[in-house]
């Protein structure tokens, strides 16, 4: 293969879902270039797998709603079973944060998301471990849940593959050929690939890939976040929803008979697999002591860290580059890339194929200085 109409860089959720939606629209000439030997090595395989619809950014809330609907009802022709544990979510808030959370939930309800206001007593009835937790109220979202991310990612890639897309693993993109301001090809470790359109779905590497092409400088910041896992615990109910204290930035959910816990740390890091830091375990212990004292000295069995790639305004970056013709961005999916994967891929595909013009608030043109 020495040429492709559409070359996608990255086989994470951004690239895989874009390929899937392009192929569903009849496009066949797609090559996905992935530097690793398999998909899901980076953010798309190192996350909490939670599907949360009530989020602070209205434009993302709409995509999250559509994404959750897709995940609850994956198409019948999907090549792998994708489990979706519909245990719901319980979002907790305190003080001004609680008022803001109530406004977000109201906005969600107006957009069609099921989101009920619960008293602390009702929340404690649902999740007994919240007995002594500190919060003023909770938002109950019964249609949230937890999805099998590996099956989902593999499903996008296998569906796209069955319709003609090719994935080239072990293909590190090193540069581009740009002729008269238009993308002409991609230089990989393995050689040159002529390309009509290049789609930058490189996650934490998105800014560096943009720079190689001479694209607009999108201030993408990869930020590390840790997840901690306990051994099975007798008092954990597998049917608990995921619980997110939005005012004190910590969440937990049942996982393999124990708990997955996250203190919502956010430290900027270079792209790659970030090292874990014992100081973040101390942050977690501190948050547990203050906000979830009922957990006591819960023992941590293992941990991992991944990167959430953010831009300062917290929105996604989806659309044509304003500087280089034929260069398209699907990046900055932050902490929502699993949940929103299908509508993000659908939006990207419809913009790439000219079915709609302008990505509005997601456009990379907002970074032109």
Ligand X SMILES: Cc1cc2nc3c(=O)[nH]c(=O)nc-3n(C[C@H](O)[C@H](O)[C@H](O)COP(=O)(O)OP(=O)(O)OC[C@H]3O[C@@H](n4cnc5c(N)ncnc54)[C@H](O)[C@@H]3O)c2cc1C
Near ligand X by CB under 6 A: residue from 42, 65, 124, 245:
42
Q: Are 229 and 259 in contact (CB under 8 A)?
A: yes
- Picking from 362, 299, 368, 355, the residue whose alpha carbon sits closest to that of residue 336 is 362
145, 185, 337, 343: which one binds ligand X (CB under 6 A):
337
- Taking the complex as a whole, the smallest distance from the CB of residue 121 to ligand X amounts, in Å, to 28
Within its chain, how far is the Cα of 187 from the centroid? 28
Of 249 and 294, CB closest to ligand X: 249
Q: Which is nearer to ligand X, 89 or 363 (CB)?
A: 89
With binding defined as CB under 6 A, does residue 186 bind ligand X? no
Q: Using the rule CB under 6 A, is 307 a contact of ligand X? A: yes
Bridge partners, 250 (sequence order):
245
Instruction: Candidates 40-48, 95-103, 109-117, 155-163: pick the segment binding ligand X (CB under 6 A).
Output: 40-48
How many other C-beta atoms lie within 10 A of the C-beta of residue 102?
A: 16
Q: How far is the CB of 131 from ligand X (least distance, A)?
A: 25
Cα–Cα nearest to 326, from 223, 214, 234, 195: 195
Is 63 in contact with 343 (CB distance < 8 Å)? yes
Q: Say whether residue 202 binds ligand X (CB under 6 A).
A: yes
Rule CB under 6 A: say whether 49 interacts with ligand X: yes
Q: Which is nearer to ligand X, 157 or 298 (CB)?
A: 157
Say if residues 2 and 194 touch (Cβ distance below 8 Å). yes
Residue closer to ligand X (CB basis): 236 or 330: 330
Interface segment toward ligand X; rule CB under 6 A; list 102-110, 133-141, 328-336, 346-354? 328-336
Q: Is 161 in the site for ligand X (CB under 6 A)?
A: no
Site for ligand X in 204-233 (CB under 6 A): 204-205, 209, 225, 227
Query: Residue 215 in contact with residue 61, Cβ under 8 Å?
Result: no
Stretch that binds ligand X, among 79-87, 114-122, 175-183, 301-309 (CB under 6 A): 301-309
In Å, the largest CA–CA distance within the chain is 65
- Nearer CB in complex with ligand X: 174/289: 174
Stretch touching ligand X by CB under 6 A, among 68-76, 166-174, 280-288, 294-302: 166-174
Q: What one-character DSSP code corresponds to residue 325?
A: B
252 lines the binding site for ligand X (CB under 6 A): no
Give the separation between CA 335 and CA 294, rounded to whole angstroms.
27
Q: Per CB under 6 A, does 246 bind ligand X?
A: no
Q: Is 89 in the site for ligand X (CB under 6 A)?
A: no
Nearest to 48 by CA among 337, 310, 317: 337
Which positions ≥6 away from 341 have C-beta within 8 Å? Answer: 13, 14, 16, 17, 67, 152, 156
Residues in the chain: 369
DSSP 365: G
259 sits near ligand X (criterion: CB under 6 A): no
Task: Restricting to residues 9-38, name those near ligand X by CB under 6 A.
Answer: 9-15, 33-36
Does position 333 interact with ligand X (CB under 6 A)? The reply is: yes
Q: Could you say whether residue 46 binds ligand X (CB under 6 A)? A: yes
Is 335:67 a contact under the CB 8 Å cutoff? no
Q: Which of 23, 43, 247, 363 binds ligand X (CB under 6 A)?
A: 43
User: What single-letter DSSP state applies at residue 299?
Assistant: P
Binding segment for ligand X (CB under 6 A), chosen from 68-76, 158-166, 315-323, 336-344, is 336-344
287 conformational bin, left if phi > 0, alpha if psi -120 to 50, beta if neither: alpha
Our finding on whether 82 is near ligand X (CB under 6 A) is no
Q: Decide: 48 and 253 in contact? Cβ < 8 Å.
A: yes
Enumerate binding residues for ligand X (CB under 6 A).
9-15, 33-36, 41-44, 46-50, 171-173, 201-205, 209, 225, 227, 306-308, 333-339
């Amino acid at each position: 293969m020495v040429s492709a109409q559409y070359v996608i860089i990255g086989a994470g959720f951004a690239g895989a879902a874009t390929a899937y939606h392009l192929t569903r629209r009849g496009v066949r000439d797609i090559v996905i270039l992935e530097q690793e030997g398999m998909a899901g090595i980076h953010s798309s395989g190192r996350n909490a797998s939670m599907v949360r619809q009530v989020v602070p950014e209205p434009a993302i809330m709409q995509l999250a709603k559509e994404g959750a609907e897709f995940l609850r009802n994956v198409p019948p022709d999907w090549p792998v079973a994708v489990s979706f544990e519909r245990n719901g979510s319980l979002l907790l808030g305190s003080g001004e944060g609680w008022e803001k959370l109530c406004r977000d939930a109201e906005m969600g309800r107006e957009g069609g998301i099921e989101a009920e206001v619960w008293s602390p007593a009702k929340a404690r009835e649902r999740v007994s471990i919240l007995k002594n937790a500190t919060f003023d109220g909770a938002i109950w979202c019964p249609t949230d849940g937890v999805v099998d991310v590996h099956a989902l990612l593999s499903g996008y890639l296998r569906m796209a593959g069955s319709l003609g897309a090719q994935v080239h693993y072990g293909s590190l993109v090193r540069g581009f050929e740009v002729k008269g301001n238009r993308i002409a090809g991609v230089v990989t470790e393995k050689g040159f690939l002529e390309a009509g359109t290049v789609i930058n779905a490189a996650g934490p590497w998105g800014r560096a890939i943009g720079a190689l092409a001479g694209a607009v400088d999108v201030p993408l910041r990869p930020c590390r976040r840790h997840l901690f896992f306990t051994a099975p615990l007798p008092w954990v109910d597998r049917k608990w929803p995921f619980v997110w204290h939005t005012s004190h930035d910590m969440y937990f959910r049942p996982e393999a008979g124990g708990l997955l816990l996250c203190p919502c740390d956010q430290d900027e890091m270079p792209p790659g697999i970030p090292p874990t830091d014992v100081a973040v375990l101390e942050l977690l212990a501190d948050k547990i002591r203050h906000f979830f004292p009922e957990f006591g000295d819960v023992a941590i069995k293992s941990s991992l860290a991944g990167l959430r790639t953010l831009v300062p305004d917290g929105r996604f970056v989806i659309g044509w580059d304003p500087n280089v013709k034929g260069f398209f961005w699907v990046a900055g999916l932050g902490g929502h890339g699993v949940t929103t994967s299908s509508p993000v891929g659908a939006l990207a595909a419809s913009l790439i194929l000219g079915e709609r013009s302008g990505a509005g608030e997601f456009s990379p043109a907002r970074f032109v200085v």
